[in-house]
């Protein structure tokens, strides 16, 4: 039986927002906490790509070293995500969520005080510990309150908060870089990463783990551990799910890291101009997250992943290879690019939750998703080093290759649409 059947009596609703109405009071509170946590997670991640040109100039580093700032964040996020997954299975989803939010907020602020490239690299790596763990804890928390038929779209709305946080970071970036000189502005941008501290108060006071899932988790003899997700039939699932996450995130982080730099250096846009172009991309991303959730519930998890992987790969190639002088085309192409590269993520929370039993759900989801982040992080670094000979736009072709890897991984994974959480 789904853990959405809590002690609260929740009336079924067939409307477009039935997914929200059927969560119940505690489920809605969990949704707000997870939505805010992931949105601010996005904000704290995006301040680096937005300030990357100024940071590169301030410390006098190469494009390869600049790319390494993102790569180290994502690599360490794999460690954070894996640890958070085990914690979620051992101490609960909500407590783990709070720990991860505090961690990424503190180290984002400290990045603004970095006195050298090496110091910034260390602080950014430590920020990755919280960055990697937040999504796994929040997505599982909400998934365990959902009815199976609504799980894809509900968790997709959590994913959509990434676009909200991204949009907020672009607005703040535009304001900060117009108020301060670049050598100061990037620091101020990092200092605004203290915003998540407000969310902690709400989570601590109102959010609770789903009762039925907690009972199953605490009564199970199997406790979260890395060895458990590599035993028996779960070993194949874990390896292929990690490969799927690698491909999807390798493509996504290639775009998230290098698109602002591409627009400034190869398309000649100003700070305000870059913000305008990113607005089209982010608008498409938000709608993509939301629509992708409905598609994954209607059409199935695997078909949705495959469709948006192929479309994202094609759009990356088109977006980066349009000849000079066609900036208006790039402006409008940003919407479908943002839509597809984000819609593919909508099914992740539900799909990974459905692949693992309750006692191992945090560990399995935390490991596979964040292993994908770590290995996928090699793609932004590769783009950074190859950009020196191919240009940023030419090197971003590796993002399209990453999506091809995701399609291959799908061939060995099961369809989980409608599956109850056990």
Concatenated DSSP letters of 82-138: HHHHHHHHHT-HHHHHHHHHHHHHHHHHHHTT--SHHHHHHHHHHHHHHHHHHHHHH
Residue from 313, 337, 324 nearest 263 by CA:
324
- The pLDDT-based confidence of 13 (bands split at 50, 70, 90) is low
- The pLDDT-based confidence of 6 (bands split at 50, 70, 90) is very low
**How many Cα atoms within 13 Å fall on the side-chain side of residue 404?**
8
Task: Give pLDDT tens digits for 72-106.
Answer: 887 888 888 889 989 999 899 999 999 999 999 99
CA–CA separation, 87 and 99 (whole Å): 10
**How many Cα atoms within 13 Å fall on the side-chain side of residue 255?**
29
Q: What pLDDT score was predicted for residue 139?
A: 85
Q: pTM of the full predicted structure? A: 0.77
Lowest mean pLDDT among 6-15, 123-132, 177-186, 201-210: 6-15
Average pLDDT value for residue range 97-119 = 94
| pLDDT surpassing 70 at residue 1 | no
Cα dihedral 26, 31, 32, 37 sign:
positive
Structural domains of the chain sorted by starting position, each given as residue range(s) with its CATH number in brackets: 23-208+230-410 (1.20.1250.20)
Task: Give pLDDT tens digits for 253-298.
Answer: 888 777 777 777 776 666 556 677 778 888 898 899 889 999 999 9
Task: Give pLDDT tens digits for 173-184.
Answer: 999 999 999 999
Percent of the chain with pLDDT over 90: 41
Average pLDDT value for residue range 209-228 = 81
The tokens for 391 are 């240009």
What residues have CB less than 8 Å from 333, skipping those under 6 apart?
Answer: 315, 318, 319, 322
């Amino acid at each position: 039986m789904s853990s959405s059947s809590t002690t609260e009596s929740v009336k079924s609703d067939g409307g477009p927002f039935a997914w929200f109405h059927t969560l119940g009071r505690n489920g809605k509170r969990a949704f707000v906490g997870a939505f805010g946590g992931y949105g601010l997670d996005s904000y704290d991640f995006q301040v680096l790509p937005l300030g990357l040109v100024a940071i590169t100039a301030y410390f006098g580093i190469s494009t390869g070293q600049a790319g390494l700032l993102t790569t180290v964040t994502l690599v360490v996020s794999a460690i954070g995500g894996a640890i958070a997954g085990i914690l979620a299975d051992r101490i609960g989803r909500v407590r783990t969520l709070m720990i991860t939010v505090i961690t990424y907020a503190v180290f984002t602020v400290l990045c603004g005080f970095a006195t050298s490239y090496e110091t910034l690299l260390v602080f950014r790596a430590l920020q990755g510990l919280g960055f990697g763990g937040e999504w796994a804890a929040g997505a599982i928390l909400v998934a365990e309150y959902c009815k199976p038929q609504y799980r894809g779209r509900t968790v997709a709305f959590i994913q959509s908060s990434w676009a909200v946080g991204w949009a907020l970071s672009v607005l703040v970036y535009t304001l900060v870089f117009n108020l301060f000189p670049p050598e100061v502005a990037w620091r101020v941008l990092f200092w605004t990463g203290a915003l998540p501290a407000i969310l902690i108060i709400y989570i601590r006071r109102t959010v609770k783990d789903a009762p039925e899932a907690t009972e199953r988790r605490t009564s199970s003899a199997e406790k979260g551990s890395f060895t458990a997700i590599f035993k028996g039939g779960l070993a194949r699932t874990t390896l292929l799910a990690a490969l799927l996450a690698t491909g999807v995130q390798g493509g996504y982080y290639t775009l998230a890291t290098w698109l602002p730099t591409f627009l400034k250096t190869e398309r000649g846009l100003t700070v305000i101009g870059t913000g305008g172009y990113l607005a089209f991309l982010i608008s498409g991303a938000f709608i993509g997250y939301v629509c992708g959730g409905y598609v994954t519930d209607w059409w199935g998890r695997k078909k949705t992943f495959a469709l948006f992987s192929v479309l994202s790969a094609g759009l990356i190639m088109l977006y980066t290879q349009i000849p000079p002088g066609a900036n208006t085309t790039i402006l409008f192409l940003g919407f479908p690019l943002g839509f597809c590269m984000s819609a593919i993520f909508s099914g992740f929370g539900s799909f990974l939750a459905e692949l693992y039993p309750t006692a191992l759900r945090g560990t399995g989801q935390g490991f596979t998703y964040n292993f994908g982040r770590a290995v996928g992080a090699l793609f932004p670094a590769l783009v950074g080093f190859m950009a020196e000979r191919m240009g940023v736009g030419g090197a971003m072709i590796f993002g399209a290759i990453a999506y091809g890897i995701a399609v291959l991984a799908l061939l060995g994974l099961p369809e989980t649409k409608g599956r109850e959480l056990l």
